[in-house]
Structure 1
Amino acid sequence: MQKLLLKDYDKIKPYLDDADYEGYNSNFVTMMMWDHEYEIFYEIKENYLIMLHTYMNEKFFAMPFCKPEYYQEALEYMLEYANKHNFIFRIDLAVEKFKILIEELYGNKFLYLHDEDFDDYIYSKVSLETLSGKKMQKRRNHFNAFLKEHPDYIYKEIEDEDIDNVLQCLKKWDFSRRIEESVVSEYIGIVYLLVHRHELNIKTGCIYIDNKLEAFIIGSPLKHSTIQIHVEKANKDIRGLYVAIGKLFLEQNYENYEFVNREEDMGLESLRKAKRALHPVKLLKKYTIILNNQTINQASDKDLYNIIDLWRSSFEDEDEKSTNFYFMNRYQKENTYVLKNNDLVVSMLQIIPYTLIFNEKEEDVYFILGVATNKTYRKQGLMKKLMNYVLSLSKYQNAKIILQAYNPELYYQFGFSQDYYHKVTEVDNNLYEDNFLIKTANNNDYIKLLNLYNQFCKKYTGYRKRNIEYYQNYLALRCEAFDEKIKVFDLNNKSIGYVIYSEEDVVIKISEIIYLEQAYLDMIIGHFMIFDKKVIIESDLKAIIKGDYKYVCTMMSNFLENNFQDNNFYINECL
């Protein structure tokens, strides 16, 4: 392979034209702008051209540049090349048109990973240029405010004498926040484009206000009547300036083009919000294509950190404290199964033994929790494959199993149904009085907590068996990890119940409320009226709590056939 250079454009252009890809990454200008970071090499064969990138010592291919009839020939060579040079085959940022054809050719030989962070935003040029229509009202207002406040602005192309002003503004706007690797890399890329702007097929524009450069833009033509905006920078303190630089650039360039590609949002929430506010006509999906090389095994010690990373990235309500609690107190590798692709943990399932009480008899069941798949590997059937593998193991084949599910519909195919619900009530504070009759007691009396729980559960035909260790070593630690508190209530020196709750500025959330009878429940709720806050209670279905409520499915099972809903079962376990 040989290094990609600026002078190579005429040599590779026919192959770029044959490929006719929409993605901005297939633009020669983009390649040259970022070559300092991705170190692009290429090789030309009779029917195709391939490009190899290296980033952080990791090699990956671009899509092969050729006509579709030569895709297979090109891919076979790329696979052979990766194997010969000892790196894992990967194609990055493949557009959907290419992905669909490769899937037809190769079936499940590859995995096709989609991450919306890298989708291209495509806009109507007319919309951004004219700012017409109801959706553009805010931008029109900003632009008109700009014209009113700065009527003497000057818009012009960037010339040699402007380059130093551009670079000084970049340092002020970007480096003033913090110098990050990405900021420095973009700076290098912008310098390259400006220095070579006459050799590259690009257009530029800038705005001066009071003889001071305050905004600039760089764009180039793509295929499919599309313009790509490579760089757009402006002084954020000047209202309407960003709108102005984009509008003026499009008005004066690329008359016969229909669309504008403004690249991806990289998963940055502020950038995503800004790009969506411009009302794209479509998002151009991008995929990473890798070899499908799956294995499923029981977890080992070396998998721990990958599993923790997957846990954190998959469960939005988990933070560092709660994650550390789980993996220090509950996680066991013997109960964990992982699906790997090319030795990377991409899906996991944890299944732990539980004891339930049915009609005063103990029964062993299993509880599935922590089912997760790396977000870029989803919709590939990996979770289904892992679930089928685990459920087919001899110890689980005829076992009674319960699970919690964020997306219950995913588990119907495995024989699970939505069997148990909680009631979540926003308490009507006007219907309760402050209660000063009951007293709070020592919440470290774990025997008392256990006794209250067991008395509460007597009205149910089934419930989770708890023991003193549950309260002493587990529940207290869990409450600390989840910023929750335990409060025990006494009436006339008799314990009548307890709650587990969290408290924020305006709301108290009760995640478990244990009470010996309805009258005591009313008293306990009345106690929380003294805080003058919204109170939200997650309770069993038999609890009568005044306020607006909804039912929430908290447990599925493969054996109860909706019997949970008859109010004769209590379970409130999440870990």
Structure 2
Amino acid sequence: MLSSCDFKPVTLSDRDFFVQHYRRFPQRHSDNTFTNMVCWNYYANYRYAIVQDCVLLSSTIAGKTRYRPPIGPRNPDLLHEVLALALKSDETRPFVVLDQETLEWISGIYPELQFQPERMYFDYVYLANDLAHLPGKGYSTIRRQLNQFMKTCSPLVEELGTDNIEEINDFVEQWCEWKDCDSNPDLASEKDALCFALAHYRELELSGIAIRSEGKIGAISLFEGQNEDTALVHFEKGLPDCKGIYRAINAETAKILAKKYTYINRESDMGVEGIREAKMRYHPHHMVQVHMLGREELEKVV
């Protein structure tokens, strides 16, 4: 019988395994991606098990664990074991589903289950060409702000690399001072994740750009391919020194990614109203929804 002891921590050395597995079973939501797990491990304590050619994932935040459906060949018996394991967790909603196909599969086996959508974790996915070129009336305000930035701030775009990595690390410190990360646990965790990504960008095979304005780095983004048609932007940060720089880092990142990918996943808003408003202004093509099961629902089938 499956137990929590079967799971081991996700570490940087596991990257090749996850890359190979996810080529066979592509991920649509950002949370299951290897980069997300290994960078946010200080906060979410991701663990995994390999059972019958499936990957099982869990995350533990503040001592409470959530489990995900098996990633691999459809296996109803293994699914039932994961549901039973989730019921043993102290978490109120201990089982989370991150893609529509898996939700439909589980609902077909257990039609009595009532899943709860969790809007704050929905990923925003955009047409890459829309973010790169900002076409039509829907983007007129963003285009105007971007044009003003280009005129007044004399930006230069450069790739992340050995020549500027130290300066980018200094930028992160400045960003955290501005945001007062030390007084906000969520921002402090985000800083840890971003610093890990920068420290290991080669091993993670991340790409990134910085925008330099008036000689100083004022914005950065880090990104990678998520699957064949979608790129994933993990981090996008800017300082307030030059108005419109967030518009610029978004557009410059999209211009690069649109050459290879149809869609850009810009992750969730985590329920922060200002972030939600900003992401909605860019008119997402679709959302990758997240659904959860509470303990009372699990008791119906376990």
In the superposition, the TM-score normalised over structure 2's length comes to 0.88
Q: How far apart are the structure 2 equivalents of 1:21 and 1:208?
A: 33
Higher relative contact order (CA 8 A, sep 6+): 2
Matching of residues 365-514 of structure 1 within 5 Å: none
Equivalent of 1:13 in 19, 36, 40: 19
What is the aligned counterpart of 1:200 among 204, 225, 232?
204
Q: Of residues 47, 50, 63 in structure 2, which corresponds to 1:44?
A: 50
Mapped to 2, the partners of 1:100 and 1:79 lie a distance apart of 16
> Are residue 265 (structure 1) and residue 265 (structure 2) matched?
no
Counterpart in the other structure of 2:68: 62
Q: Decide whether the 8 Å contact of 1:94 with 1:289 is kept in 2.
A: no
Q: 1:213 offset after TM fit, Å?
A: 0.8
Instruction: Give distance in 2, aligned partners of 1:24 and 1:147.
Output: 31
For residues 191 and 73 of structure 1, the distance between their equivalents in structure 2, rounded to whole angstroms, comes to 40
Match of 2:148 in 1: 145
Distance in 2 (CA, whole Å) between partners of 1:25 and 1:162 is: 28
Residue aligning to 1:175 = 177
Alpha-carbon contact 1:175-1:183 (below 8 Å) kept = no
Alpha carbons 2:125, 2:284 under 8 Å: kept: yes
CA gap 1:293/1:139 in 2 versus in 1, 3 angstroms: closer
Structure 1 stretches lacking a partner, 5+ long: 296-340, 342-575
Are residues 1:281 and 2:281 paired? no
Report SS of the residue matched to 1:220.
Answer: strand
Quick check: 2:53–2:72 contact (8 Å CA) kept in 1?
A: yes
Query: Residue type matched to 1:22 in 2?
Result: R
| Aligned: 1:112 with 2:118 | no
What's the secondary structure of 2:271's corresponding residue?
Answer: coil
Aligned-partner Cα distance in 2 for 1:150–1:290: 50
Give per-residue Cα distances to partners, 1:157-206, cap 9 Å, x unaligned. 12234233323333333333432111111111111111111111321000
> Per-residue deviation at 1:24?
1.0
1:160 partner SS: coil
The one-letter code sitting in structure 2 at the alignment partner of 1:17 is: R
- 1:121 paired with 2:127, answer no
1:29–1:220 contact (8 Å) kept in structure 2:
no
* Deviation by residue 1:516-561 (Cα, 9 ceiling, x = unmatched): xxxxxxxxxxxxxxxxxxxxxxxxxxxxxxxxxxxxxxxxxxxxxx
Instruction: State the one-letter code of the partner of 2:197.
Output: L
Q: Distance in 1 between matches of 2:198 and 2:62?
A: 26
2:251 pairs, out of 247, 253, 258, with 247
Q: Which amino acid aligns with 2:172?
A: L
> So what's the TM-score if we normalise by structure 1?
0.48
Q: Is the 8 A contact 1:120 1:283 kept in 2?
A: yes
Contact 1:9–1:28 (8 Å) recurs in 2: yes
Paired with 1:134 and 1:113, the residues of 2 have a C-alpha distance of 35
Deviation at 1:293, TM superposition (A): 4.8
Residue 114 of structure 1 deviates from its aligned partner by 0.8
Which residue pairs with 1:76 in the alignment?
80
**What is the aligned residue count?**
291
* CA RMSD after TM alignment: 2.3
CA distance in structure 2 between the partners assigned to 1:240 and 1:114 by the alignment: 33
Contact 2:129 2:255 in 1 (8 A): no
Asked if the contact 2:67–2:86 (Cα under 8 Å) also holds between the matched residues in 1, the reply is: no
Shift of 1:294: 9.3
Whole-Å separation in 2 of the counterparts to 1:207 and 1:176: 18
* 5+ long unaligned stretches in structure 2: 1-6
Whose helix fraction is larger, Structure 1's or Structure 2's? 2
Q: How far apart, in 2, do the equivalents of 1:289 and 1:16 lie?
A: 24
% identity of equivalent residues? 21
Is the contact between residue 201 and residue 221 of structure 1 (CA under 8 Å) also seen in structure 2? no
Over 3 Å counting, the alpha-carbon distance change for 1:177 and 1:47 in structure 2 is closer
Kept in 1: contact 2:218–2:241 (CA 8 A): no
- Tell whether 2:196 aligns with 1:188: no
Q: Distance between the aligned counterparts of 1:279 and 1:33, measured in 2?
A: 28
SS in 1 for 2:125: strand
